[in-house]
Structure 1
Amino acid sequence: MDATRPLSRRGMRSVAFLLAVCLVVVVDQAVKAAVRALYPVGEGETLIPGVLDLLHVENTGAAFSMARGMGPLLVVIAIAVLAGCVALVWREDIPLPLAVAIGCVAGGGVGNMIDRLFQGSVTDFLATRFVDFPVFNVADVFVTCGVAVSVVGYYLWNLKGERGPSAT
Structure 2
Amino acid sequence: MDSIKSRGRHYISAILLVLVGVWFDQFTKTLAVDHLKGQEPFILLKNVFQFEYLENHGAAFGILQNKQIFFFIIVLIISVFIIWFYLHVPMTKKLLPLRICAVFIFSGAIGNFIDRLKLGYVVDFFYFKLIDFPVFNVADIYVTVGTFILAFLLLFYYKEEDLDRIFHS
Which category of TM-score, normalised to the shorter sequence, fits these structures? 0.7 to 0.9
Deviation at 1:164, TM superposition (A): 4.2
Q: Which residue number corresponds to residue 131 of structure 1?
A: 131
Structure 2 residue matching 1:20: 3-state secondary structure = helix
In the alignment, the residues of structure 2 paired with residue 162 and residue 9 of structure 1 have an alpha-carbon distance, to the nearest angstrom, of 20
Q: How many residues align?
A: 164
In the alignment, the residues of structure 1 paired with residue 29 and residue 115 of structure 2 have an alpha-carbon distance, to the nearest angstrom, of 9
Cα distance per residue 1:96-117 (max 9 Å; x no partner): 2210111101110100000000
Q: Which residue number corresponds to residue 29 of structure 1?
A: 26
Percent identity between the two aligned chains:
27
CA RMSD of aligned residues (A): 2.3
The answer (yes or no) to whether the contact 1:41–1:57 under 8 Å persists in 2 is no
1:148 paired with 2:145, answer no
Deviation at 1:157, TM superposition (A): 5.2
In the alignment, the residues of structure 1 paired with residue 5 and residue 153 of structure 2 have an alpha-carbon distance, to the nearest angstrom, of 21
Bigger mean CA offset, 19-28 vs 141-150: 19-28
Give the TM-score normalised by structure 2. 0.85
Larger proportion of helix: 2
1:163 paired with 2:163, answer yes
Gaps of 5+ in 2: none
Map 1:3-82; keep pairs closer than 5 Å.
Answer: 5=2, 7=4, 10-41=7-38, 43-82=40-79
Cα distance per residue 1:73-132 (max 9 Å; x no partner): 102211210111000010232612210111101110100000000011100001111102
| Higher RCO by CA contacts (8 Å cutoff, separation 6 or greater) | 1
